[in-house]
Amino acid sequence: MTPLVDGAAGPGARGAGAGVKDLEGVPDTVDAPVETLPGINTTGGASTSASGLRKRQKKIAVLTSGGDSAGMNAAVRAVVRQSIARGCQAYIIREGWEGLVRGNSTEITPAATPFRSPSGPQSPSLEAAKSVSFSSLPPTQQLKLESAAAAADAEEHEANTVPHAVNYTDPNWIAPLSDAPLSFGYGELLKDGAGEGDIDELAAHGGAGLVMADQKDQAGRSLKGKYIVRVGWDDVRGWLGEGGTLIGSSRCPSFRTREGRLQAANNLIDFGIDCLAVCGGDGSLTGADKLRGEWPGLVQELHNDGKISDQQAEAYRHLNIVGLVGSIDNDMSMTDLTIGALTALHRICEAIDSISSTASSHSRAFVIEVMGRHCGWLALLAGIATGADFVFIPESPPKTEDWESEMCDLLKSHRLVGKRKSIVIVAEGALDRNLKPIKPDYVKKILVDRLGLDTRVTTLGHTQRGGKPCAFDRILPTLQGVQAVQALLDATPETPSYMIGIVENKITQVPLLEAVAQTQAVAEAIESKHFDKAMSYRDSEFREMLQAFQISSSLTAHDHVPENKRLRIGIIHVGAPAGGMNAATRQAVRFCHNRGHTPLAIYNGFEGLLDDNVAELSWLRVDTWTTRGGSELGTNRVLPSTDIGQVAAAFQRHGLDALLVIGGFEAFHSVLTLEQNRSNYPSFNIPMIHLPATISNNVPLTDFSLGSDTSLNALVDACDAIKQSASASRNRVFVVETQGGMSGYIATLGALAVGAVLVYTPEEGISLKLLQEDVEFLRERYELDVKGKSEGRLVIKSEKSSTIYNTETLTKILKEEGKDLFDARSASLGHTLQGGVPSPLDRTRAARLALRCMQFLEEHGTPHAQTSRGKRAASPSTATMIAIRGSKIVYATMDDVLKDTDMKLRRGKDVWWGDIKRLAEVMGGRTGLIASSKAPN
């Protein structure tokens, strides 16, 4: 049976049928128990039990706890908006667990900003509570309003509000935006960090008469003493690009006590909240699960003490918890990435990229300390992304006890081949094999004393936490926040508390305690000197990254394969340039030198091969390539079919034993052509592999291509600046055109990352009917904005989404139809999306995938393949593409890829991000507003 919910829930109603107002002054009715009641209407309309009580509307609260991380605001925004979209009330809890324990100590605040229908009758204003002073009362007593007045208000509210059935079990069901107030007035106060000023305290310090602190906003709202706050759709407007956490985070010793958790439970019940999303690290999530485990006993104790009624004890028997991992260290097990980790990596790479240039200028060594107490993820990936020489991480100390000599020997070998700089990265929790801490100053002393290097130490500190979130730290928290809400709605007393994670490209749900236990097991293994065990707890990506770094940094010959197994491996770029191409080439070349193979650079694609523009690449030559955008080898769209016979002859002339092809759709097409011509040209009977690299991310069968993340970050940077201009004008819509060919990936993911309200893609196109709906949506949305405080809005359009409604035409239509409500402008990002420094994600992903590609070629390659007599035909499995598919990395044959390919449109037939467009428009408000216009009166 599908539970349908209608009406509003009351925080702290003391008697069955009594009406109260919540702390925002919004009338609420008392709850029926959570369980499905007899007489529930499953076909629509108002849901009531046999006794006439409405089924309780769910209330979902979100808090951030522990250390802050970029992307937390995106997570809060996603939880709030998805909660409202799913027909729930949304709350934020300020200052983490501390705020939940404190609760609220101020009187009821002014009314919410109601949803004002732009056409037809206006929604009734949500009256403020009766003017009563509550400042001298404890929080629980503040909720006891005069029952007769409250009941009358609740009756009036219900009489004037159109009831809509709510479906919590269908994740695709979206509530009309008109079902909830757009704002409760706290968004600007939270975003600006205002509303907490203590005027009396300021005056006591000689600041009387100075306008230095905000006590209240113009409407009389204040956040002082208010930690549990109901929020509306517009209260989280503009939060996507903000760093840190706007709702605050703090350590809370009191929550570690049962008394503190008892008070937290009392506050939750007073507000009618039994669904809680917690964004924080393992400590915060452990506390969340502990609260849930103690919940029945806490409720019983509150009931026994008379602090909650019989009805409340029955209605709030169960607490649903979900965890979102916010941690820059990326130290949580059972997930590949935590919220904020990639942004921290961005900050680190930006700093080291800057340091590298001055280090090279003066031939200096730099020792750089990064965060990571029990996890070396930041140090390791920064080492790969910046081309560092040596890294110290807690999970894998140096191999020998004499690590000083190990490090110096490696750096000396780099200097002997001509390298001018030395970069050593130290995680703050780095240890030697005897658990002795390794500190940057000591590393510096060793480099100065033993190698005579002019050495500097840089500690990046809290700069790693700061700054606006990168593209992925906007997308990931949004996807996880949406999943978190669904997990709360699906939860039962029997289901465990879940942690929302990600594995490769798949959003996952794992038991929270299992993830926390495995995370803590890493630290225990390190303390027990079981370093191999500690590494086994890390995901496969971490282990492969460590291997990639060690291979790229090593110059020793002890890993060389026997001479009779050494290969001549060609490396070629095909198609348009993309960030990460050079990083992948660097890793491939370093692998060859580590294993004794010969790396052959084929310059300028297949045109260069036909011109014999082929040369060996040295270890040093590619040293700085990891940070370079574009293609150092040169690339174009020429396919081998241009002169297939001469291409085969070139393979023979240069003695290619294996081939790595890096590029986009043309690269796939090239490998496909070579594989299909093996029967005619024996020189193609060598292992070959395609490593996808294109900003369009249109290569079939793989979820990601190198360069797509760099492109998304370029789009985010541009759109942040454009939106700033649009918002300053208050009523301006910008149509932003992106590249992408016949793939809408950049437009779709970009729209989600920048908070665009509309997105147009080639997959769905643009019709006149769609334009009419979108124009009407924009008009209605601007009519709902508070006068003088309209938001600049973005519309993302893929360049080939329509041949008729191009960007110029679309902009003119919006400008004409906007009339006096909004203006319209356009901006085309063009080739700016291809250039620039590759993102850390593209650099590190390039290293990992290139390593896997080279291992594949080494496994299947045969030396002297072009001159061997009686050579056997190669298996189709030796012409492949490496692909990220959901939670796995796979080698796909050309036949497998071809089955998923639309050759005419140059894209895959089935893409994982197909539903993201819908989600972007849900988050932008389009879906809910259209649902409002279609809802029955």
Q: Which residues are catalytically annotated?
A: 329
**Two structure tokens written together for 789:** 């405080």
Angle (CA) 908-913-914 rounded to 5° is 75
CA distance 484 to 324: 8
DSSP SS3 for 863 = coil
**Two structure tokens written together for 896:** 């497998």
CA distance 916 to 919: 5
Radius of gyration of the chain (CA): 30
If we measure between CA atoms, which residue out of 524, 538, 546, 533 comes closest to residue 398?
Answer: 546
The one-character DSSP state at 462 is: G
DSSP SS3 for 605 = helix
Dihedral angle at the C-alpha atoms of 684, 688, 692, 698, nearest 10 degrees? 40
If we measure between CA atoms, which residue out of 483, 463, 467 comes closest to residue 475?
Answer: 483
**Two structure tokens written together for 705:** 């291509």
DSSP SS3 for 563 = helix
What is the H or E stretch that residue 294 is in?
A: helix 282-304
CA distance 168 to 6: 11
If we measure between CA atoms, which residue out of 803, 817, 786, 814 comes closest to residue 235?
Answer: 786
Angle (CA) 202-207-212 rounded to 5° is 75
Q: Where are the alpha helices (DSSP H) in 132-257?
A: 139-142, 147-160, 187-192, 199-202
If we measure between CA atoms, which residue out of 351, 115, 251 comes closest to residue 929?
Answer: 115
Nearby residues of 170 by Cβ (< 8 Å), 6 or more positions away: 2
DSSP SS3 for 621 = coil
Q: What number of CA atoms fall less than 13 Å from residue 542's CA on the CB side?
A: 26
What's the residue count for the chain? Answer: 937
